[in-house]
Amino acid sequence: MKPNTRHKNPLGDISVLYVAVMTRALRAEGRAPTDLLDRFGLDEQALGAPAARISIPRFMRMGQAAIALTGNPAFGLTMGQLSRPVDAGIAGLAAQSAATAGEAISTLIQYSLLTSRNSRGAPWTVSQGREAHFYSIKPYNVFNFFVVDSVLAAWVQFLRDITGHDRVVERISIEYPSQGYDEVFEQWFGCPVRFGAESNSLRLAPGIVEAASLQAQAAMFESLSGQCALELSRIRAGWSMADRVKDQLPPLLQGGTPTLMAVAHKLGVAPWTLQRQLAEENTGFRELVDDTRKELAVEYIRETRVSLSEISWLLGFANPAAFHKAWRRWFNTSPGEHRKQYLAEQAAKGIF
């Protein structure tokens, strides 16, 4: 990715490194990945380009297709089990060379933007790395259950690999409601799993935060984590102030229109300074809110099965009628008509 290029996928994107994990999991379950890759316009060569990314909605559809191919609703756990530190790119290599498991999981999450980005939020750690949280695209449906499963399972497998311990977590929390496979999940994670929780998270078992990494190498950790920090700064340094504002807007839109003051606070600048800098870039806050809504609306309509009323709330419109009015202003049609036509075109291509 070029330093001055803002992310192209409004809802977020993910490295093809994770698609490679999916193909590995398919093979492990006795299915050739070729048909799935062809269906989504990918091939083995594309998976060899670590800088390449696909949109999160596209990745979710691939996961659902993989579940249909294997007949395994817990396919995300298979992906997690077959994940390796290197599958998280340079962040995974840096993390495994940390001195302790707590420092390792914190490093992995700190630099997650290098391989994945969710416009609605980012993963984070608390309690000195003892708890790790994952923010998924909501509302939940059959397309994104597996994303939560695969991420939490990959984190657990990472901890198992670097510590040599099987029981590395004492609790797993998952936001979406139970799908009837609680026993499968508890057996795989080796601890209680609570569905319908407030957030997706894991809590490390006692002693794991301080547990030494079997891959610890102080010099490599310093070098690799330094490269991660440099790459992260390069990604953000190329953004204009308008880019930075649009990056902050999606999670603030839910249920209402964010204010310039709220965004300025997020960016650590005074409201008047933000207003002046946007004017210097020949744009304004209201224009950026409208542009962001438009970009996200297209993704929600095309790439998800979220209802129109839910989309209107996610974009901060007062009611569905206001969303319909905005869509007609943007595209001179209705959102329902656009979705119907788009899905018909995709079905004709054999994508859905």
Give the Cα separation of 219 and 312 in Å (integer). Answer: 50
Residue 163 has pLDDT above 70, yes or no: yes
Residues in the chain: 352
Q: Which amino acid is at 277?
A: Q
Query: For the chain, where are the alpha helices, taking DSSP H only?
Result: 16-28, 34-39, 44-47, 56-70, 75-81, 89-96, 101-110, 145-163, 182-189, 218-237, 241-253, 260-267, 271-280, 285-303, 308-314, 320-331, 335-348
189 vs 35, more confident: 189
Question: Does the predicted model carry a pTM greater than 0.85?
Answer: no
Mean pLDDT of all residues in 307-318 = 91
Give the Cα separation of 7 and 77 in Å (integer). Answer: 28
Residue 351 pLDDT: 59
Written as six digits, the tokens of 126 are 């608390």
The per-residue DSSP string of 193-214 comes to EEES-SSEEEEEPTTTTTPBPT
Residue 7 pLDDT: 53
Give the Cα separation of 203 and 173 in Å (integer). Answer: 9
The gap from C-alpha 231 to its chain's centroid, in whole angstroms, comes to 19
Domain 240-348: homologous superfamily in CATH? Homeodomain-like (1.10.10.60)
Query: How does pLDDT run across 198-246, given as a tens digit for each residue?
Result: 889 999 999 999 999 999 999 999 999 999 999 888 877 778 899 889 8
Residue 313 has pLDDT above 50, yes or no: yes
Q: Minimal CA–CA distance to 61: which of 329, 280, 286, 346?
A: 346
Q: Rounded to 10 degrees, what is the CA torsion of 341, 251, 295, 256?
A: 80
The per-residue DSSP string of 110-140 comes to HTGGGTEEETT---EEETTTTEEEEPPPSS-
Mean pLDDT of all residues in 101-113 = 94
Report in angstroms the alpha-carbon separations of 290 from 129, 146, 156, 177, 330: 38, 32, 40, 33, 10
Chain-wide mean pLDDT for the chain?
89
Mean pLDDT of all residues in 22-38 = 93
Residue 121 pLDDT: 67
Give the Cα separation of 260 and 249 in Å (integer). Answer: 10
The answer to whether 137 and 12 have CB atoms below 8 angstroms apart is yes
pLDDT band for 352, please (50, 70, 90 cuts): low
**């962001």: which residue's tokens?**
292
Which of 214-223, 299-308, 333-342: highest mean pLDDT? 214-223
3-state secondary structure of 176: coil
Give the Cα separation of 200 and 204 in Å (integer). Answer: 14
Residue 4 pLDDT: 40
- Phi-psi category of 255—alpha, beta or left, where left has phi over 0 and alpha has psi -120 to 50? left
Residue 1 pLDDT: 35
Residue 267 has pLDDT above 50, yes or no: yes
Residue 161 pLDDT: 97
Residue 127 has pLDDT above 80, yes or no: no
Query: How does pLDDT run across 274-289, given as a tens digit for each residue?
Result: 999 999 999 999 999 9
Q: Minimal CA–CA distance to 31: which of 20, 42, 23?
A: 23
CB count, 10 Å around CB of 349?
Answer: 9
**Which range has the worst mean pLDDT, 108-112, 189-193, 233-237?**
233-237
Query: How does pLDDT run across 58-91, given as a tens digit for each residue?
Result: 898 899 999 999 999 999 999 999 999 999 999 9
Residue 134 has pLDDT above 70, yes or no: yes
346 vs 65, more confident: 65
Domains of the chain by residue range: 12-235, 240-348
Residue 24 pLDDT: 95
